């Protein structure tokens, strides 16, 4: 997990550009967990404080996947 506290975000409003301070949290996880993770983040931080978005992985070293959470509710039934 990577945390970037007090990251600058620049917002354009007409001809005016303003700077906002936000927090960015990045992690590698299964796509099925995104909604659950987003909900947990918004329970602890206001939506104005944190950016939450998804970036698809195009390539991945699958030997690193052992650390990803494994949960029965997301497994396909046999």
- At 16 the pLDDT is 95
Nearest to 51 by CA among 30, 21, 12: 21
- At 15 the pLDDT is 92
- At 7 the pLDDT is 86
SS3 content of the chain, % helix, strand, coil (to 5): 30, 30, 40
Domain layout of the chain by residue ranges:
2-74
Order the strands of the 16-26 sheet from edge to edge: 2-13, 16-26, 50-51
* Mean pLDDT, the chain cut into blocks of 10 residues (78 residues total): 84 91 80 86 83 76 67 46
- 0.85 surpassed by pTM: no
Could you give the C-alpha distances from 15 to 18, 21, 62, 76, in angstroms and in order? 10, 20, 46, 51
- At 66 the pLDDT is 67
């Amino acid at each position: 997990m990577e945390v970037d506290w007090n990251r600058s975000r620049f917002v354009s409003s007409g001809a005016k550009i303003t700077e906002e301070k936000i927090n960015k949290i990045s992690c590698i996880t299964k796509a099925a967990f995104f909604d659950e993770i987003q909900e947990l983040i918004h329970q602890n931080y206001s939506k104005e404080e944190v950016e939450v978005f998804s970036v698809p992985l195009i390539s991945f070293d699958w030997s690193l996947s052992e650390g990803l959470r494994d949960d029965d509710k997301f497994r396909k039934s046999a």
